[in-house]
Copies of this chain bind each other. A is one copy, B any other.
Amino acid sequence: MNIGETAEKSGLPAKTIRYYEDIGLIAPLRSANGYRDFGAADLHKLAFIARARALGFSIEDCRSLLALYEDAGRASADVKRIAQEHLGRIEEKIAQLQSMQDTLSDLVQACCGDHRPDCPILGDLAGALTRKI
């Protein structure tokens, strides 16, 4: 299977698949003409990675998860730990964003948004120094 077909079936851009080979996540065979030749196992791996990426796992997490997936003697605790750490980072990020959202939605509400220059949003930003941020 050439890279084009593989890209279509895995849902990943061909560029991304080449990149994954570069960094050693996958290792497709090569045809006589130099083209990459993907097998079912490669496609499976790519779909695995795509799903993990969609859940926000980093490439290095993906590498670890793939290794665990292929290790029949793994302990599920190792997988769970990676997922829990990732979940923690996600929760942290959500909290950060919600804090921004809270402040911003207050400011946006307070701004009448007309032709006049007075604006509590700019007021907040400009007051940063006085408030020591």
How far apart are A82's CB and chain B's nearest CB, in angstroms?
8
Number of copies: 2
In the bound assembly, the distance between CA atoms of A47 and B127 in angstroms comes to 8
Bin chain A's interface residue count: 35 or more
Question: A11, B133: Cβ atoms under 8 Å?
Answer: yes
Does A118 have its Cβ within 8 Å of any Cβ on chain B? yes
Question: B56, A116: Cβ atoms under 8 Å?
Answer: no
Residues of A within 8 A of B (CB): 9-11, 43-44, 47-48, 50-52, 54-56, 65, 68-69, 71-77, 79-81, 83-84, 86-87, 90-91, 93-94, 97-98, 100-101, 103-105, 107-108, 111-119, 121-122, 124-129, 133
